[in-house]
């Protein structure tokens, strides 16, 4: 079973559930309904796991050609493609039923959009155009909307602010990964931006641009009365540090500095979420 668990990418699922929980936290009114939150997190975990599994099923040939992925369960022969396909479908069906019956219809529809846009648009686009990263950022930013919809039953400006933060955050994060493994991606025929333009000039400009855009968007929760001024200060500091790593990469385009952007992105999001919660209006009221 550990090979089937590996197909679900538990570490990524943890980040998805963290984002879903943030959405629920800012969407709920009054006391927290822990049963509803459980249904939401379980359903989200199931569709995230199923999507990850079917993504690996679809990309099994490409994964077999890359050093960083050739030991994944399917290309390594630990799980058959047929069993992975059935496992992934079962997870998606269970997840959608969980969201539809245990949460509400809006959350289930958002989950279905996430699945469809990731598997039917983003995944096949990866071998055709580097714009796949932009398309993939939409399903990647859906978890806060799922959590918010579960708690509130509607999507308000606060939900879209949380969506925008993670939407913009993804670009420096994934462009840095693509830079670090561009030779691998090229061997597999995956058209990431650093593969299309190997000198990295355009990639570094994109990373800089999105790191800059992230700063004002990350301040929006304070201006929409979601948080206080302590969060505002924390968001400015975290955004400045993230931008610093992007600037370092822009000045010296190396794999080491790309890894620096990746590390900064991995630290940025959980710390920003922590600041959001600790200085939230709902927590102190």
Statement to judge: residues 100 and 49 lie in one domain: yes
Q: Which CATH number do you get for residue 260? A: 1.20.120
What b/e string do you get for 30-62 counting C-beta neighbours within 10 Å, with b at 16 or more?
eeeeeebbebbbbbbbbbbbbbbbbbbbbbbeb
Q: Which residue, of 123, 139, 155, is where some domain finishes?
A: 155
Residue 30 has pLDDT above 70, yes or no: yes
- Model confidence at 284, pLDDT cuts 50, 70, 90, reads low
Q: pTM of the entire structure?
A: 0.93
Statement to judge: residues 197 and 283 lie in one domain: yes
**Mean pLDDT for the chain?**
94
Statement to judge: residues 143 and 163 lie in one domain: no
Q: Which domain holds residue 139?
A: 1-155
Q: Which residue, of 128, 155, 182, is where some domain finishes?
A: 155
Residue 282 has pLDDT above 70, yes or no: no
Statement to judge: residues 1 and 15 lie in one domain: yes
- Model confidence at 285, pLDDT cuts 50, 70, 90, reads low
Distance CA 122, CA 129 (A): 10
Query: Percent of the chain, pLDDT > 70?
Result: 99
Number of domains into which the chain is organized = 2
- Model confidence at 281, pLDDT cuts 50, 70, 90, reads confident
**pLDDT number for residue 96:** 97
**pLDDT number for residue 272:** 96
Distance CA 263, CA 34 (A): 33
Statement to judge: residues 57 and 7 lie in one domain: yes
**pLDDT number for residue 270:** 94
Statement to judge: residues 114 and 10 lie in one domain: yes
Q: Which CATH number do you get for residue 34? A: 1.10.357.140
Residue 121 has pLDDT above 70, yes or no: yes
Q: Which residue, of 155, 174, 198, is where some domain finishes?
A: 155
**pLDDT number for residue 31:** 82
Statement to judge: residues 191 and 143 lie in one domain: no
What are the pLDDT digits (tens) for 124-182? Answer: 999 899 999 999 999 999 999 999 999 999 999 999 999 999 999 999 999 999 999 88
Statement to judge: residues 7 and 113 lie in one domain: yes
**pLDDT number for residue 188:** 85
Statement to judge: residues 173 and 150 lie in one domain: no
């Amino acid at each position: 079973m550990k090979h089937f668990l590996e197909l679900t990418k538990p570490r990524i699922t943890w980040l998805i559930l963290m984002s879903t929980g943030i959405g629920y936290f800012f969407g709920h009114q009054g006391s927290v309904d822990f049963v509803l939150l459980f249904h939401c997190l379980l359903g989200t975990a199931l569709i995230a796991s199923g999507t990850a599994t079917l993504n690996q099923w679809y990309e099994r040939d490409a994964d077999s050609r890359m050093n960083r992925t050739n030991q994944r369960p399917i290309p390594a022969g630990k799980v058959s493609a047929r069993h992975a396909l059935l496992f992934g479908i079962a997870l998606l069906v269970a997840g959608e039923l969980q969201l539809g019956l245990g949460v509400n219809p809006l959350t289930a529809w958002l989950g279905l959009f996430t699945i469809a846009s990731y598997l039917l648009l983003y995944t096949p686009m990866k071998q055709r155009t580097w714009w796949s990263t932009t398309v993939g950022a939409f399903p990647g930013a859906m978890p806060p909307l799922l959590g918010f919809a579960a708690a509130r039953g509607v999507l308000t400006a606060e939900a879209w602010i949380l969506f925008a933060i993670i939407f913009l955050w993804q670009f420096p994060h994934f462009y840095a990964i693509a830079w670090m493994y561009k030779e691998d991606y090229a061997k597999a025929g995956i058209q990431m931006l650093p593969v299309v333009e190997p000198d990295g000039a355009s990639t570094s400009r994109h990373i800089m641009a999105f790191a800059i855009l992230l700063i004002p968007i990350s301040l929006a929760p304070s201006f929409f009365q979601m948080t206080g001024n302590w969060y505002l200060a924390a968001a400015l500091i975290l955004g400045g540090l993230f931008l610093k790593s992007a600037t370092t990469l822009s000045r010296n385009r190396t794999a080491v500095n790309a890894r620096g952007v990746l590390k900064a992105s991995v630290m940025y999001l959980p710390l920003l979420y922590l600041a959001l919660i600790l200085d939230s209006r709902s927590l102190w009221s």
